[in-house]
Amino acid sequence: MKSPFSPIFPFVFALLLSYHIRVTSADFHATSAPVADLESLIQCLSMHSDNSSISKVIYTQINSSYSSVLNFSIQNLRFSTPNTPKPQVIVTPLDVSQVQAAIKCSKKHGLQIRVRSGGHDFEGLSYVSHVPFVVIDLLNLSEISVDAAEQTAWVQAGATLGQLYYRIAEKSKNLGFPGGLCPTVGESFPELGLTKEDCIEMSWIESAHDLAGFKKGDPLDLLLDRNSRTNGVAEDAATNGFFKSKSDYVKPPIPENAFEGIYDNFYEEDGETAFMLLVPYGGKMSEISESETPYPHRAGNIYQILYTVTWGEDETSQSHIDWIRRLYSHMTPYVSENPREAYINYRDLDIGTNNRGHTSIKQASIWGSKYFKNNFKRLVHVKTMVDPYDFFKNEQSIPPLTSWRKKNGD
Ligand SMILES: *[C@@H]1O[C@H](CO)[C@@H](O)[C@H](O)[C@H]1NC(C)=O
Ligand SMILES: *[C@@H]1O[C@H](CO)[C@@H](O)[C@H](O)[C@H]1NC(C)=O
Ligand SMILES: *[C@@H]1O[C@H](CO)[C@@H](O)[C@H](O)[C@H]1NC(C)=O
Ligand SMILES: CC(=O)N[C@H]1CO[C@H](CO)[C@@H](O)[C@@H]1O
Shared domain check, 287 and 312: yes
Does residue 279 sit within a domain?
A: yes
Final residue belonging to a domain, choices 316, 334, 349: 349
Shared domain check, 151 and 252: no
Does residue 31 sit within a domain?
A: yes
Query: Residue with the nearest Cα to atom 1 of ligand 2?
Result: 71
Shared domain check, 30 and 82: yes
If one counts every other C-beta atom within 10 angstroms of the C-beta of residue 56, the result is 10
Residue of 49, 60, 135 with the most ligand 4 atoms within 8 Å of its CB, for mutation: 60
Look at residue 282 and give its three-state secondary structure: coil
Shared domain check, 356 and 345: no
Say what the pTM is: 0.84
Q: Residue 59 to residues 92, 93, 388: CA-CA distances in angstroms?
A: 8, 11, 30
pLDDT at 195 over 70: yes
Query: Residue with the nearest Cα to atom 6 of ligand 3?
Result: 140
> How far, in Å, CA of 255 to CA of 333, rounded?
10
Q: Is 224 exposed, middle or buried (0-12, 13-18, 19+ CB in 10 A)?
A: middle
Shared domain check, 252 and 169: no
pLDDT at 176 over 90: no
pLDDT at 293 over 70: yes
Per the CB < 8 A criterion, the answer to whether 370 and 342 are in contact is yes
CA of 67 to the centre of ligand 2 (A): 6
Shared domain check, 382 and 339: no
Shared domain check, 123 and 32: yes
Does residue 19 sit within a domain?
A: no
Most confident of 71-75, 131-135, 218-222, 227-231: 131-135
How does 345-368 read in b/e, with b if 16+ C-beta sit within 10 Å? ebbbeebbbbeeeebebeebbebb
pLDDT at 30 over 70: no
Is the shortest distance between the CB of 96 and ligand 1 below 6 Å?
no
Residue of 140, 141, 166, 227 with the most ligand 3 atoms within 8 Å of its CB, for mutation: 140
Residue 53 belongs to domain spanning: 25-137
Which residues contact ligand 2 via a Cβ below 6 A?
67-68, 71, 80
Q: How confident is the model over 200-222, as a mean pLDDT?
A: 84
Does residue 328 sit within a domain?
A: yes
Active site residue 346: yes
pLDDT at 347: 97
Shared domain check, 246 and 326: yes
Shared domain check, 307 and 258: yes
CA of 34 to the centre of ligand 2 (A): 24
Does residue 1 sit within a domain?
A: no
pLDDT band at 130 (very low <50, low <70, confident <90, very high): very high
Give the nearest ligand 3 atom to 72 CA.
4
Q: Which residue is catalytic, options 59, 165, 166, 346? A: 346
pLDDT at 250: 97
E strand intervals along 127-221: 133-137, 144-147, 152-155
Shared domain check, 195 and 158: yes
Does residue 16 sit within a domain?
A: no
Is the shortest distance between the CB of 53 and ligand 1 below 6 Å?
yes
Of the listed ranges 65-69, 101-105, 185-189, 204-208, the one predicted with least confidence: 185-189
Does residue 163 sit within a domain?
A: yes
Does residue 365 sit within a domain?
A: yes
CA of 96 to the centre of ligand 1 (A): 11
Which residues contact ligand 4 via a Cβ below 6 A?
42, 55-56, 58-60, 62-63
Shared domain check, 170 and 83: no
Look at residue 321 and give its three-state secondary structure: helix
CA of 364 to the centre of ligand 2 (A): 34
Shared domain check, 328 and 259: yes
What are the tens digits of pLDDT across the range 62-120? 999 999 999 988 989 999 999 999 999 999 999 999 999 999 999 999 999 999 998 88
pLDDT at 240: 78
What are the tens digits of pLDDT across the range 302-326? 999 999 999 999 999 999 999 999 9
How many domains does the chain contain in total? 4
Query: Phi-psi bin for 95: left (phi > 0), alpha (psi -120 to 50), beta?
Result: beta
Final residue belonging to a domain, choices 105, 137, 169: 137
Final residue belonging to a domain, choices 122, 137, 152: 137
CA of 51 to the centre of ligand 1 (A): 6
